[in-house]
Structure 1
Amino acid sequence: MLTATFFDGERWRDGVVGLGEDGRPRLGEETPAPGCPLLPGRIVGGFTDHHVHLQLVDHAFLASSRLGRVVDLGGDPSTVARIAVHNSGVSTGGGASEAVPGVPGPDSPDLRTVDFAGAFLTPPGGYPSDRAWAPAGSVREIADPAAAATAVEEMAAAGVSCVKVASNSTAGPVFSDALFRTIADLAAARGLPVIAHAEGSGEAQRVVRLGATQLAHAPFSERLDDEEIAEQAARISWISTLAIHDSHARAIAIDNVARFHAAGGTVRYGTDMGNGPTPVDLNPAEVAALRTAGLDDDALLRALAPVDPLDPRSLLLLLPPGSADPLAARPLTPADLKV
């Protein structure tokens, strides 16, 4: 056993690390014995990317990434559910889960948690119904409250952890206030947060008033004023996705995030993985943009929401001595425990 300093999601703590029965490193929170050797470096759980599209990337690379958890925010629910099952090692219906090409099976030591929203919920003709990149089954067009109830029920039955609602006024129609609120209420009744793609003048502010609990993208269409920032910081969290934008939109988004973070708002690291040539791993450009927005080392780690390092199934990462840069992290190996 070695003494280890680890990040529990909010703060740094001391515990012990050693090899489990399966020969993999395991972290414990017990008090180290006097004279216990110290592990060089510090431990964090695998990081979370809160906005990915696994059908648009080679998701097999997750198994060798520093990501312990991803949240798919728009895909065919049945396909993404199979990817999630195979990464979590949980079978459905009491039998073996269906194999997904390129994804490690439940016995792999490199399992990752995949949460997902299922299909984009959008009005008829709304974003992204006309996008060539949208996989079959990844968009549900909703015309009325009855269709909304059916769609939310089907997403819940598919095992989603949240609901994704598109509200992009620059690319087609958006839901009326009444229908958006109906969807939000239906989701809330099932314990499902509503994550909104808000794009276009006033949309980020509107969806918050109507029941969205998180923005899929930090606002990039316009600069929010300080009063709007304060209101959002008190009511909602933002997923960053700063690096996907052109320079103009990125500057707007970084400015909004800087003031939102300073106002106490919760920023979550997310890359919109699959939107262009994004890595299936930590994205250095996104990390750099968040630092530009004023997130220091600990704030950045909180935004990355590491999985619980005390969970014996969690991916454990090692930060080198003296560093809190997540880009310097690498998987902790048995060889690291031979000091």
Structure 2
Amino acid sequence: MIFDLLLTADAAWLGERTLAGPTAVGVRGSEIGWIGPSRDAPSAVTRTHVDGVLLPGLTDHHVHAAMIRPEQLLAAGVTTVLDLGWAPDEIWPLVDRARSDPALPHIRAAGPFLTAPGGYPSRQSWAPPRVAIEVEDPVSAIRAVESLVARRPATIKVTLNSEAGPVVDDATLNAVVGAARAHGIPVTAHTQGHGQTRRAYLAGVRVLAHTPWTEELDDSLVADLARDTTIVSTIDIHGWGEHTRDRRTALHNLRRFHSAGGTVRYGTDLGNGPLPIGVNIREIAALTDAGLSPVEILRAITGAPLRPGATADVSVVPADPTADPAVLGQAKAVLKAGRPVPARADGD
């Protein structure tokens, strides 16, 4: 059996606590067809060796892709992004383009935010027209969810930001979650303001778009969240490296959530403020500060481990990320769906 491409490296991370030795990945079309020790590698049309460590492609679980140049993320090893809210006439064409454009990462999206009439972010100066669907009662909430289903959104995003305007009531929030659940779609909430994280949890929301930062969560709520909720980190938006009060509160909440066994995902809110394009090493450092081990950070920033049958999304970094996760920001080679991605030029 001859593969289209054989990519070899000095080591690989296959989801365990330690690295495997010299490893080869055989690619056929857009999928991994074989993976194993380099000494047993099959034949291939093209063979490429990279000095470094093979990893699954990296994922940023919170971006706003229309506000950045997403091709810069791909060249940095981020092969998949989750866009958590944008105007439908901008984000859906970008999602469609990414399916066939080898220069773009895979883009999964929520589509427009759901919010209360006049709620965040419908009145924000940065928000384009139609960035949000305003829902005022359970009937309009169900209608809004149904309007998004045809696009097969990765999640439904609801905003509960009581510091920036009105928020939906409990009945409307319950209707959003119920309608989304009926279609097998998760709901992600932006919670900001006293009590909003608890409201989201009680309504059945099981993904938080940000680590809560406007209040210290009580221990019982942290324990509840840790059982079945995922938190997307986004710590660096609070000061961009400065030690602000909001950052301290978020870190305290995330540290307790992780300690209780909660699931943490790497996410940056890229497009919001002066965040670096690519892997944000300050966000990686924040995950370390929250108590995640290097292997836990790898699990937070990658999808499924490299395996036959998986989409051939691969990032190669120069050294062992289980020893120093900062090397995640130093991609040496990248495959998206089996196709090599050109390296970033200096200054990109």
Give the TM bin, normalised by the shorter chain: 0.7 to 0.9
The corresponding residue for 2:317 is 318
SS state at 2:157 partner: strand
Does 2:117 correspond to 1:124? Answer: yes
Letter of the 1:44 counterpart: L
Does 2:148 correspond to 1:151? Answer: no
Q: Distance in 1 between matches of 2:96 and 2:41?
A: 43
- State the TM-score, normalized to the length of structure 1: 0.84
Letter of the 2:293 counterpart: D
Q: Is the 8 A contact 2:210 2:231 kept in 1?
A: yes
The corresponding residue for 2:252 is 255
Instruction: Evaluate the alpha carbon distance shift between residue 189 and residue 40 of structure 1 in structure 2; reply closer, same or farther with a 3 A threshold.
Output: same
1:221 maps to which of 214, 217, 223: 214
Deviation sequence 1:140-174 (CA, Å, 0-9, x none): 11112232122111211123110000001111111
1:104-119 equivalences in 2 (<5 Å)? 105=101, 108=102, 110-119=103-112
Deviation sequence 1:269-295 (CA, Å, 0-9, x none): 111111101122111211111111111
Instruction: Evaluate the alpha carbon distance shift between residue 147 and residue 284 of structure 1 in structure 2; reply closer, same or farther with a 3 A threshold.
Output: same
Q: Is the 8 A contact 1:319 1:326 kept in 2?
A: no
Letter of the 1:325 counterpart: D
Letter of the 1:245 counterpart: H
The corresponding residue for 2:64 is 53
Deviates more, 1:24-33 or 1:193-202: 24-33
Instruction: Evaluate the alpha carbon distance shift between residue 315 and residue 322 of structure 1 in structure 2; reply closer, same or farther with a 3 A threshold.
Output: closer
Q: Distance in 2 between matches of 1:8 and 1:213?
A: 27
Structure 1: stretches of 5+ with no match in the other structure = 90-104
Deviation sequence 1:93-120 (CA, Å, 0-9, x none): xxxxxxxxxxxx2xx3x45211110111
The corresponding residue for 1:211 is 204
Instruction: Evaluate the alpha carbon distance shift between residue 268 and residue 225 of structure 1 in structure 2; reply closer, same or farther with a 3 A threshold.
Output: same
Letter of the 1:208 counterpart: Y
Instruction: Evaluate the alpha carbon distance shift between residue 12 and residue 151 of structure 1 in structure 2; reply closer, same or farther with a 3 A threshold.
Output: farther
The corresponding residue for 1:167 is 160
Over the aligned positions, Cα root-mean-square deviation in angstroms equals 2.9
Q: Distance in 2 between matches of 1:130 and 1:323?
A: 44
Shift of 1:307: 5.6
Deviates more, 1:24-33 or 1:175-184: 24-33
Deviation sequence 1:238-271 (CA, Å, 0-9, x none): 0111111140010000011111101000011111
Deviation sequence 1:106-143 (CA, Å, 0-9, x none): xx3x4521111011100101111110111222111111
Letter of the 2:221 counterpart: E
Letter of the 1:65 counterpart: A
The corresponding residue for 2:24 is 17
Shift of 1:66: 1.8
Does 2:281 correspond to 1:284? Answer: yes
Between structures 1 and 2, the one with greater strand share? 2
Q: Distance in 2 between matches of 1:81 and 1:309?
A: 28
Deviation sequence 1:72-97 (CA, Å, 0-9, x none): 001012421221222222xxxxxxxx
The corresponding residue for 2:227 is 234
Structure 2: stretches of 5+ with no match in the other structure = 1-5, 43-48, 341-348
Instruction: Evaluate the alpha carbon distance shift between residue 34 and residue 86 of structure 1 in structure 2; reply closer, same or farther with a 3 A threshold.
Output: closer
- State the TM-score, normalized to the length of structure 2: 0.81
Letter of the 1:314 counterpart: D
Instruction: Evaluate the alpha carbon distance shift between residue 306 and residue 331 of structure 1 in structure 2; reply closer, same or farther with a 3 A threshold.
Output: farther
Q: Report the identity percentage.
A: 35
Instruction: Evaluate the alpha carbon distance shift between residue 177 and residue 21 of structure 1 in structure 2; reply closer, same or farther with a 3 A threshold.
Output: closer
